[in-house]
Structure 1
Amino acid sequence: MIITCKDSSFRLRYYFYEEILKELYGLIIMAKRDEVLDRKKLVYQLYKILNITQDDTDNTEFNTFFDSKILNKIDFKRRKSKGQFVTPSILANFMAKWVLLNQKPKKILDPAIGTGILIKEILKSIKKENGQNKFRIYGFDRDNLMILITKINLFENKGHLDLINEDFFENNLEEKFDIIIANPPYIKSNKIERLSLYHQVVSNSVGVDLDKFTGLYALFLVYCVTLLKKRGKLAFIIPSEFLNANYGVKVKDILLKNIRIEALIYFDTKDFVFNDVMSSCLIVLIDNSDFSPEHNIKFIKTTTINNLDDIFNVVTDNSYIKDGKLKQNIANLIYSEYKVKQLNPAKKWISLFSNKRKNYGELEHFIPLGFYYKVIRGIATGANNFFTLSESEINRWKIPERYLLPIITKARDISPPIFTWHDYNQLKNDDKKVYLLSIEEEIGNASVKRYLDTGIEQEIDKRYLTRNRRIWYFMEHREVAPVLIKVFNRGKIQFILNDTACLNLTSFHGIYPNDKRFMRFNKALISFFLSEYGEDTVRLQLRHYGGGLKKLEPSDVEKILIPDFTEFSNADLTRLDQCFEQYTELSREGSQERTLKFIDEINHIFGNLFEHYSFFEETM
């Protein structure tokens, strides 16, 4: 079959397609890297791999279509390992439009250019606005495949473009830029090969020793701030994680002291902004104009990416704002603003994306949960599927009871707010994994030895956690936690009373009273978190990810503000216990309407206790 292409630029780009195909050939069809392919075979394989037809090549949007075909064919694990997640075009357009507003840039930088979509939008906007051609764009990427795709995307503008296939942090840039725009790679700190070098480069550039856990995307942001010209503009799209993370304290401090943040736009959406990545999304807009502690930073939260025109107007036109609030409500958008001098980098900032917040922090009678409780992560086995067993597996391997402990393995196995022996036995009857293999001595049982031998055959003993133990199958020790909290949640954060002797894996954190006397408060504690007040105090500590997913680390849970239950009367504590028990019973019966009665009563009890404090005062 002969396929022609009406787009003559396709022929001009042929060399780059050929180079990309060589990359794809190795990545997708696993051909030997030294295999010699003639030109006809390359073209044929190109169409075959990408499933391109005559209709596709005739399409005026072929270039965009072709890019998406390539990216869909690149192995996801490879892209994830490099932190490559393509910016949706609607967000790229928004960012490009904002950085170019009232600007005539001479030098533009994208430190992690990827497929070039951000620069593509910059070029479209420049051409549309004034057609100026006296500018230069510098794009960095370590991945040769990304550089090749960008050459294709920006072929007509190659005269304006310097693409550098090098590590951005190792380039020792001395010049400054009018515009910096980026979607930097998002890779977990423990997956980055040269992390210590990057930390050193960025820490030296700002004169601050950054936290060793600082995310790569945050290092890009901090470093690029030092490369921005006076009155230059920067737009980054990054995870919102640093706003609430401990390592984010120094990052926020640097931003507040060294640059003028125009707006932070937080996408609190149940849908993933980026396909295949579970991280909530934040756009950072910086205008390096005159710095002032009186400057108002705009905090904007939206639950959709489809109202960017409204957001652009709010960011760029102060006529939409009056007395720190929107003049008129905008659907799916919450606006608040804070002066630089009001912001504390040591605080968690996610809670600032709200126009109504209750001032819990100033209450004398609220204390951190960690005052009465210690929060510890669940047991990390290193191989859950091997170290946890079901009833049928126990019987098949004939493992004695003395080597087993009851365990809660998965968050979905529990229906809050209580876990009982009845629930455990139901899981056991359903043949769920409810036993933990617990060996604290030399093995004298032949059945257990045989089972462990299968673990060696599967190389379980060579995994990271197991190989770092004194004996690979020895499990870490935990006491039974009387209260559990699910690590990841969608919707309301779930606290559970553990009315069994079951241990828990890492899908839960265990909450342990610091003193046995505080066991008396367990039901009151969970009742508080069922109330609207508990929801508010938890929200201040949450870490947000994409798709509406929320997470709490043990240190976050210990910082949650709770009432000082030692000041409650016995009558109030008893009534809270009764409400909890009645709520639990009715929720298990599926009587939702009747359970609301007890939630209302719990709210009423806490409301009466707090009404004479400054509990309901709203802060800016």
Structure 2
Amino acid sequence: MTEINKIEKKRLALQAKLDGGKTPEDRNHMGQFATPTTLAREILTHGVRLLPASEKIRFFDPGIGTGSFYSALRAVVVAERIESAAGFEIDPHYGKPAKAFWKGTKLNIRLEDFTQAEPEERLKANLLICNPPYVRHHHMDAAKKADLQCRTEKACGVKINGLSGLYCYFMGLSHKWMEQDGIAGWLVPSEFMGVNYGKMLKSYLLDKVTLLQVHRFDPEDVQFTDALVSSAVVWFKNAPPPSNHDVIFSYGGTLTEPALSRKVLASELAHEGKWTRYPQADKATIRVEITLGDLFDIKRGLATGDNSFFIMDRKKIEAYNLPMECFRPVLPGSRYIPSDEIKADKDGLPLIDMQFFLLHTSLSENDIAQRYPTLKAYLDTGRKGERPVAERYLCRSRRPWYAQENRPAAPIICTYMGRSRKGSKPFRFILNHSQATACNGYLMLYPKPLLAHAAAKDPEIMRTVWKFLNGIKVDELLSHGRVYGGGLHKLEPKELRGFPAEGLIARIPEIGALHRQLSLFEKAVI
């Protein structure tokens, strides 16, 4: 074993010891997820190749932890090439032992909050590599966010969205710590590429620096065993972007040997909301005249506040002698729905084995006590125990506390979270003929007047729409959603609303005709 590898083995032992001294909750709160050795060396190897071969390295890591990237740098270049190295660590639990561990080397660790520091000319770097803390916005108070927004805008000229995680601020604040033409490599969650809060960060990457490459790891190959995120490495040069320059988008495999890779014009990226479409997509999203949002009002299913209390099967209702008229049918989880079409009996109940019912009444407790004493007795149990149902967040904000949202049955529902394996679809579109509503494990598609008008004339139109939705290619559907570590895909209502629906016009001419009439009317009003 080489001396470098022996040192890395000792550093890993120190990392494990320090991680063991904190609870997973504490580390999660501070976004502390150490970079694995193999990945760190892969990133440093790639970063060094982006520098001129004769150039000395002035290394900087604003979230250094125990120094995984500095250790990797020492493993991939000769010692003489490292002119200087510096890093910040806010947590003394990691910072003090790391400072002691690297004593006698070129690494200078500052035990400070990087976001509050001002750069010194001698500390500016030509190679900045960082796995910034993955702290979600709700772990930062309003005053902290406002300060970070102000500091970041001053540092890089872009104001970061308040819903952004701490890693977005780290990227913007680091701008002033880089030398002209310096190289930066950021190991970050890929979510910024496809969500609204990422727009400002993408603006920085396109307008303030020269974006070189975005490598997205296969989400099923989780880079951090203790963080459910899909990771990407973003590479850029601290130089104004040249006109019409290309950006390399790569996916899967390694940085050196990705499974997929292609060049995309930066000008194309400026008009593409979902960078996660690349490199699989061969062109930007086509702007269309009609989307699913024109045809459907798409909402998430209802949140009960406590499914185990408000949802029950017929046996439980009968066991408590509860009044059936105070319940309405509700669909079970998708694993209990074997077919993508739910048929109904004459009363509108779904013809499936697992039939459930939702407690649904707006009667006051006094009225319930007079009309339905057994139901009043059951509701009283919701006020007892260590965590009474009535005191939970959703319930205590309702009047009365047991009232439910108004979510009527939808003719089409969609499972909006799932995994895609070997070409299978993570999302299911289900045609619902029943009067059963659905909980928030589903998206509910309610026809807007445009579609409802056409469907009223021909009930088979809804089946045509359903077949169209289930005919969407897997990659097309995934490109409109977002992905998390482990291959977990998610499709938000807004993302589904934006999906192109022009393919339906050929199948349902009435929709095209009505949409053109509506567009002409809207233009006339404007």
TM-score range, shorter chain: 0.7 to 0.9
SS in 1 for 2:264: strand
Counterpart for residue 257 of structure 2: 310
* 1:435 aligns with one of 357, 375, 389: 357
Which letter does structure 1 place at the counterpart of 2:200? K
| Correspondence for 1:463 among 385, 389, 392 | 392
Match of 2:437 in 1: 503
Give the SS at the match of 1:237: strand
2:470 corresponds to which residue?
530
What's the CA shift string for 1:414-436, capped at 9, x where partnerless? 3352223489554437xxxx222
Do structure 1's residue 115 and structure 2's residue 66 form an aligned pair? yes
Instruction: Verify the 8 A CA contact 1:372 1:513 in the aligned structure 2.
Output: yes
Q: Do the aligned partners of 2:302 and 2:405 also contact (CA within 8 Å) in 1?
A: yes
Whole-angstrom CA distance in 2 between matches of 1:98 and 1:461: 56
User: Displacement of 1:342 after TM fit?
Assistant: 2.8
Residue 98 of structure 1 is aligned with which of 43, 46, 58?
46
Distance 1:392 1:114, change over 3 A: farther
What is the CA distance between 1:292 and its match in structure 2?
0.1
Inter-CA distance 153–369: structure 2 relative to 1 (3 Å threshold): farther
251-260 or 404-413, which deviates more: 404-413
Q: Which residue of 2 aligns with 1:163?
A: 110
TM-score normalised per structure 1: 0.70
Task: Give CA deviations for 1:348-394 in whole Å, capped at 9, x if unaligned.
Answer: 1111212645x77266xx62111111111111223333332233432
Uncovered stretches (5+) of structure 1, i.e. residues with no partner: 1-57, 312-332, 574-620
1:82 corresponds to which of 16, 30, 33: 30
Q: Partners in 2 of 1:406 and 1:197 — Cα distance?
A: 49
Residue of structure 2 in register with 1:374 after alignment: 297
Identity percentage of aligned residues: 24
Equivalent in 167, 170, 173 of residue 220 of structure 1: 170
Structure 1 residues 360 and 179: CA distance shift in structure 2, 3 A: closer
> Per-residue deviation at 1:263?
0.5
1:416–1:495: 8 Å Cα contact kept in structure 2? no
Q: Is the Cα contact below 8 Å between 1:237 and 1:282 reproduced in 2?
A: yes
Is contact 2:328-2:436 (8 Å) kept? Answer: yes
- Distance in structure 1 (CA, Å) of the matches to 2:110 and 2:133: 17
Deviation (angstroms), 1:450: 3.1
- Structure 1 counterpart of 2:447: 513
Once the two structures are superposed, what CA deviation does each residue of 1:212-269 show, in whole Å capped at 9, x if it has no partner?
2223222222222343221111111111111111122222122100001110001124
Query: Is the CA contact (8 Å cut-off) linking 2:364 and 2:400 kept in structure 1?
Result: no
Note the aligned Cα RMSD (angstroms): 3.1
Could you tell me which residue of structure 2 aligns to residue 402 of structure 1?
Answer: 325
Shift of 1:105: 5.5
Q: Is the CA contact 1:537–1:561 (under 8 Å) kept in the aligned structure 2?
A: no
Match of 2:391, as an amino acid?
K
Structure 1: how far apart are the matches of 2:392 and 2:418? 28
The alpha carbon displacement at 1:295 in A equals 2.0
Change (3 A) 1:383 1:86: farther
Alignment of 1:211-610 (within 5 A): 211-289=161-239, 291-302=241-252, 304=253, 307-311=254-258, 333-354=259-280, 356=282, 361=286, 367-421=290-344, 424=350, 426-428=352-354, 434-443=356-365, 444=368, 445-457=372-384, 458-491=387-420, 492=425, 493-515=427-449, 516-519=452-455, 520=459, 521-531=461-471, 533-563=472-502, 565-568=504-507
Moved more, 77-86 or 460-469: 460-469
Deviation for aligned residue 1:572: 13
Give, in angstroms, the shift of residue 403 of structure 1: 2.4
CA contact (8 A) 2:250 2:260 kept: yes
Indicate the SS of the match to 1:178.
strand
Secondary structure in 2 matching 1:211 = coil
Shift of 1:132: 4.6
TM-score (norm 2): 0.82
User: Any conservation in 2 of the 1:387–1:437 contact (CA below 8 Å)?
Assistant: yes
Between the aligned partners of 1:453 and 1:113, the Cα distance in structure 2 is 54
How far apart are residue 270 of structure 1 and its match?
1.8
Alpha-carbon separation, structure 2, partners of 1:257 and 1:441: 58
Change (3 A) 1:402 1:155: farther
Structure 1 residue 66, shift from structure 2 partner? 4.7
One-letter amino acid matched to 1:405: R
Change (3 A) 1:258 1:133: closer
